[in-house]
C-alpha cells in the first residue's frame, strides 16, 4: 500500500517550512545588522569577504522565499484535501 499524505501531513510540512523560512530570514537580517558600524555602513574584511557574504545571504534568502511559498502551497493543498473529505 503506497503512502498517501493527508491534510495533517501537509499542515505539518507547511509548519516546518514556515519555521525554516523564518529562521533563515532572521539569520540573514541578523548578519547584516551585526556588520553595520555606528554610522550604518556595512563593514567587510575584504572585497572577497563582501562578495562571499552577500552571495551566501542572497542564496539563503532565495531558499527562504521558496520555503515560504512551498508552505503556502501545502496549506492550500491541505485545505483542499480537508474540504474534499469533509464536505
Tens-place pLDDT, residues 5-58: 688 888 899 999 999 999 999 999 999 999 999 999 999 999 999 999 999 999
> Which ranges of the chain does DSSP label H, i.e. alpha helix?
7-34, 47-85
pLDDT band at 2 (very low <50, low <70, confident <90, very high): low
Res. 1: pLDDT tops 60: no
Q: Whole-angstrom Cα distance, residue 72 to residue 75?
A: 5
Q: Whole-angstrom Cα distance, residue 61 to residue 55?
A: 10
**What pLDDT is attached to residue 78?**
87
Res. 3: pLDDT tops 70: no
Q: Whole-angstrom Cα distance, residue 71 to residue 23?
A: 14
What tens digit of pLDDT does each residue of 52-87 get?
A: 999 999 999 999 999 999 999 999 988 888 888 877
pTM of the predicted protein model: 0.81
Q: Could you tell me the three cell numbers for 6?
A: 493527508
Amino acid at each position: 500500500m503506497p503512502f498517501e499524505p493527508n491534510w495533517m501531513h501537509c499542515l505539518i510540512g507547511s509548519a516546518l517550512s514556515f519555521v525554516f523560512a523564518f529562521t533563515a530570514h532572521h539569520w540573514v537580517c541578523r548578519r547584516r545588522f551585526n556588520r553595520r558600524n555606528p554610522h550604518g555602513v556595512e563593514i567587510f574584511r575584504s572585497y572577497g569577504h563582501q562578495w562571499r557574504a552577500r552571495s551566501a545571504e542572497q542564496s539563503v534568502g532565495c531558499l527562504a522565499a521558496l520555503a515560504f511559498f512551498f508552505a503556502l502551497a501545502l496549506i492550500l493543498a491541505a485545505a483542499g484535501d480537508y474540504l474534499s473529505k469533509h464536505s
